A and B are shown apart, each in its own frame.
Chain A
Amino acid sequence: MSTPSRSDRIPLGEVQLPENLLEKYQAFLRSTVDSNHVPLEILLSCKTRIRQIHGLEEAENIDGFDVPVISSSADESTQKNALVVAEKITFDVHGIEDVEVDELKRLLGESGCVQLITALAFFDVESRLERVLGAF
């Protein structure tokens, strides 16, 4: 399984996804990122990790992934917990444990937890679409 180069990536609109569906799909994806209950850096690090698991981005550091700079220890703790769930949601969704979600709920609240889990699920969906269709 090779990693597609960026120049090979095709926008979804060009693979003839109906315009209305594409528009609503993109609006929904934006809402998972800009709902402001979860720091953007955490979402981006999770997205990077999920894309790496799917072989869509190269892992470049010793831990296997690059993470954006996190500015506070609270966010660092949230990021670690979020990355655990990001990895499991990609290939071991039944392995996600109550205690892991409880911790995210404690750190982010119910709204943040909904935003994070939804974003992670659809980062995975986006990666699968890109992997299967060759489109993003």
Chain B
Amino acid sequence: MSTRPRLESAIEGDPPNFSNVMLHSEKILQKFTDLYAEFWRKSAVSLEIKEMTRIRNARLTDCGY
């Protein structure tokens, strides 16, 4: 388990978070953002079910979401 942020922010002076760490590889961040937006925008699965599974998954993996 991580005891500290393992990667630095790509934006100098900013505390590391998911987006600014991923920004080290701008192309991957862009494609991930495109995918994630599409995933949440519309689908056969309701937003409530998606959110519930996201929270459940976060708890099981101890990610603190």
Chain A residues in the interface with B (C-beta under 8 A):
18, 20-21, 24-25, 27-28, 30-32, 35, 37, 93-94, 96, 98, 101-102, 105, 110-111, 113-115, 118
Contacts and interface: CB of A to CB of B under 8 A. Distances in A.
A20 to B, nearest CB: 6
A64 to B, nearest CB: 26
Contacts of B38: 20-21, 24
B63 to A, nearest CB: 10
Given A35-B25, A101-B6, A28 B32 contact: yes
Interface of A is mostly: helix
Contact of A27 (B6, B8, B21, B31): B31
Contacts of A96: 2
A8 B64 CA distance: 38
Size category of the B interface is 20 to 34
Contacts of A31: 27-28, 30-32
Which 8 pairs across A and B sit closest by C-beta, in order of nearness?
A28-B31, A31-B31, A24-B35, A28-B35, A114-B24, A101-B6, A111-B24, A110-B24
12 contacts: A18-B43, A24-B38, A28-B32, A31-B28, A31-B32, A37-B25, A101-B2, A114-B7, A114-B24, A114-B25, A115-B28, A118-B22
A104 to B, nearest CB: 9
B62 to A, nearest CB: 7
B34 interface: yes
A114 B61 CA distance: 20
Contacts of B42: 18
Interface string B33-45: 0110011001100
Contact of A118 (B2, B4, B28, B62): B28
